[in-house]
Amino acid sequence: MSKSDPPGGSASSDAAPSLSADAVLGAINPPARKRLLVALCFPLFVLVLAPYWWWATAIERLPLPAARIAALEAASTPEITTRILFTADAGAFPTPPEGRANFPLRTKLQVLGEEVTKGVDGILAQQRPAERGARRWELVYDGDAALRVHIALDGAANTSFPLEPYVSTLAADSVPSGALVIPVHPSQVSDLNLKRHYKIALINGIHNLLPAHLPGVPVRALAYRPNITLSFVLLNEDAADGSYVSGWDVEQALRDHFLPQITPLAPVFNFSIESQVLYHAPLTFEPDAAEAGPGWRINDEQLKVFVSERWSLDSGSTNNPVLRFLVFVPSAAHRPLHLAAASDAFLIPQFGSVVLLNPPEDGAKAYHLTLDALDGPFDQFVEHFYGLLSIPARPAQVHAAPESRGRAIASPLSPWQLDTVLRTRLAENTAEAKKTLASMVRLIAKIEEMQVGAGVRDKILGAVSKLEGLPATARAASPRAAFVLSRDAVALANEAFFDPSMMGLLYFVRHAPSPPHVASL
């Protein structure tokens, strides 16, 4: 038997591959030296590329002005003084008797103005320190001022005291529209107590129009956003059910009622306006039959679900917050429809205003709402518009302007109201911007994976420097300049906060899967 003779048939298949495997391996594998080189290549590769990898994936975290933000947080909003120009008609003060010095008008106004200022400071001093607030205005006697107070000699004025201050709605020779006017009848000028009456009227007017305490932004009002859409909708409950309203003079109504309100607000809000008529806006409930007399009543519970989600109120063409003003025309089957409350209008917080309008029962099929018919609802809308945007209404101590008594149209928004709106929104925006900046600093410090790129850092720096500019606007006595800084600061802070580079991670942090719950059986 040869050595190579396989012991059995199966053995040959064992031995032959073991020999040829070595040969195959030798053929495939490179020589040992070459293998070592290849093996070394990997660590080398890693060594060379690691810095690049690190550079490419390292988290960019630019430093933030944390100390400046902390200083802003600690600082209070600067107190800005509004200048009020104080003027009077030449005949508003009595001429002194022969031989007594007649001081120039300006001197008389200055003496009176100082007494008024002292009077208001006296009223404030009587209040408890915590509630006192600070006087936010000063009287000046020449130069430019956003606000104006004027003593007007007026033959049409009430001849009996007390004097009745009002905010003018028409520009006259000596007084611009929006001035606080103290009307005095020529027969009153010789009154011995005239100066005291002036002082009372001025204190009453100025102190109530510009109270020391700012109203906050109430819950029913929109938080500040620069762009707001006003949507006016005429809703027919069911046009197919007998008579309905087919059209309205909405453009004229807007021109008469809303333009005088929104035009002066241009420094604060950009309004866009849309309107539409709906022919089928059914109620989701059946109103109660009225207890006394014919018709239907909507109770307080039904009021809460009055506006149905199925009405297509919004055009959906805007990302702005929308305030809706709805004129609701009940179907023929539900007329007359009234609220259980005294008026037929209600405000829905942060949403809008609703007015019920029952057409006259004269059997007509289709109605067109003229300006006459719309004056009532739109006057109501303006009142609710004030509520929804936190605009102060005319205080009771200030009378209605004589020229406005007549058609039911609210007085145009006056510079006095704008001053309060600017300050209210300044306070709101400043607080919001500081809060956002401070929470970003805390968040970024806490989450080490969070990036701070140049884009985010620059927005934060921008917001900080706007806020740091506020004290200078106080020195310039400009609530308007201060408001603009606060508006831009909050916009920049929000842009930084909602920057995609930060948001991605925030989303991850907020939505990281929580540890699975151990089911307890």
Residues 211-230 that bind ligand NAG (CB under 6 A): 226-227
Contact, 169 vs 74, CB < 8 A?
no
What distance in Å separates the CA atoms of residue 97 and residue 245, rounded to the nearest whole number?
A: 69
Give the interface segment with ligand NAG, choosing from 108-116, 265-273, 324-332, 495-503 (CB under 6 A). Answer: 265-273
Instruction: Quote the least distance from Cβ 158 to ligand NAG, whole Å.
Output: 4
Instruction: Quote the least distance from Cβ 322 to ligand NAG, whole Å.
Output: 13
* CB closer to ligand NAG, 122 vs 267: 267
Say whether residue 263 binds ligand NAG (CB under 6 A): no
Say whether residue 160 binds ligand NAG (CB under 6 A): yes
Instruction: Quote the least distance from Cβ 465 to ligand NAG, whole Å.
Output: 19
Instruction: Quote the least distance from Cβ 147 to ligand NAG, whole Å.
Output: 20
For residue 169, give both structure tokens. 């709605």
Instruction: Quote the least distance from Cβ 270 to ligand NAG, whole Å.
Output: 4
- Residue from 102, 270, 312, 343 touching ligand NAG (CB under 6 A): that is 270
* CB closer to ligand NAG, 160 vs 299: 160
Instruction: Quote the least distance from Cβ 402 to ligand NAG, whole Å.
Output: 9
Over the window 346 to 375, marking each residue x when it contacts ligand NAG by CB under 6 A and - when it does not, the resulting string is: ------------------------------
DSSP secondary structure string for all residues of 454-472? HHHHHHHHHHHHHHHTHHH
* CB closer to ligand NAG, 184 vs 345: 184
- Helices and strands of the chain, counted as H and E runs: 15, 15
| Helix, strand or coil, per DSSP, at residue 183 | strand
* CB closer to ligand NAG, 450 vs 490: 490
Instruction: Quote the least distance from Cβ 161 to ligand NAG, whole Å.
Output: 8
Instruction: Quote the least distance from Cβ 269 to ligand NAG, whole Å.
Output: 6
What distance in Å separates the CA atoms of residue 71 and residue 155, rounded to the nearest whole number?
A: 57
Place of tokens 């948001």: 503
Place of tokens 């309205």: 248
Instruction: Quote the least distance from Cβ 227 to ligand NAG, whole Å.
Output: 4
What distance in Å separates the CA atoms of residue 197 and residue 454, rounded to the nearest whole number?
A: 62
What distance in Å separates the CA atoms of residue 278 and residue 288, rounded to the nearest whole number?
A: 24
What distance in Å separates the CA atoms of residue 339 and residue 317, rounded to the nearest whole number?
A: 32
For residue 91, give both structure tokens. 């005949």
| Helices 454-468 and 66-74: angle between axes, nearest 10 degrees | 30
Instruction: Quote the least distance from Cβ 232 to ligand NAG, whole Å.
Output: 20
Residue 376 contacts by C-beta under 8 Å, 6 or more apart in sequence?
355, 408
Work out the number of other CB atoms within 10 angstroms of the CB of residue 489. 27
What distance in Å separates the CA atoms of residue 185 and residue 159, rounded to the nearest whole number?
A: 6
* CB closer to ligand NAG, 344 vs 488: 488
Over the window 223 to 262, marking each residue x when it contacts ligand NAG by CB under 6 A and - when it does not, the resulting string is: ---xx-----------------------------------
* CB closer to ligand NAG, 158 vs 465: 158
Amino acid identity of 509?
V
Sort residue 12 into left (φ over 0), alpha (ψ -120 to 50) or beta.
alpha
Angle at 252 between CA 374 and CA 384, to 5 degrees: 50
Instruction: Quote the least distance from Cβ 425 to ligand NAG, whole Å.
Output: 10
For residue 506, give both structure tokens. 């925030």
Residue 158 contacts by C-beta under 8 Å, 6 or more apart in sequence?
164, 183, 185
* CB closer to ligand NAG, 161 vs 346: 161
What distance in Å separates the CA atoms of residue 109 and residue 107, rounded to the nearest whole number?
A: 5
- Residue from 152, 268, 418, 452 touching ligand NAG (CB under 6 A): that is 268
* CB closer to ligand NAG, 224 vs 306: 224
Total interface residues for ligand NAG by CB under 6 A: 8
Instruction: Quote the least distance from Cβ 317 to ligand NAG, whole Å.
Output: 13
Say whether residue 493 binds ligand NAG (CB under 6 A): no
What distance in Å separates the CA atoms of residue 125 and residue 144, rounded to the nearest whole number?
A: 29
| Helix, strand or coil, per DSSP, at residue 352 | strand
Say whether residue 109 binds ligand NAG (CB under 6 A): no
* CB closer to ligand NAG, 252 vs 272: 272
Say whether residue 158 binds ligand NAG (CB under 6 A): yes
Instruction: Quote the least distance from Cβ 200 to ligand NAG, whole Å.
Output: 13
Give the interface segment with ligand NAG, choosing from 78-86, 112-120, 264-272, 382-390 (CB under 6 A). Answer: 264-272
Residue 406 phi/psi, 5° resolution? 160, -120
* CB closer to ligand NAG, 17 vs 267: 267
Helix (H) or strand (E) holding 327: strand 322-329
Give the interface segment with ligand NAG, choosing from 214-222, 268-276, 376-384, 431-439 (CB under 6 A). Answer: 268-276
* CB closer to ligand NAG, 117 vs 494: 494
| Helix, strand or coil, per DSSP, at residue 433 | helix
For residue 339, give both structure tokens. 């609220």
Give the interface segment with ligand NAG, choosing from 62-70, 263-271, 335-343, 378-386 (CB under 6 A). Answer: 263-271
Strand partners, 87: 150
Order of strands across the sheet with 337-339?
Answer: 288-289, 296-298, 337-339
Q: Which residues bind ligand NAG (CB under 6 A)?
A: 158, 160, 226-227, 267-270
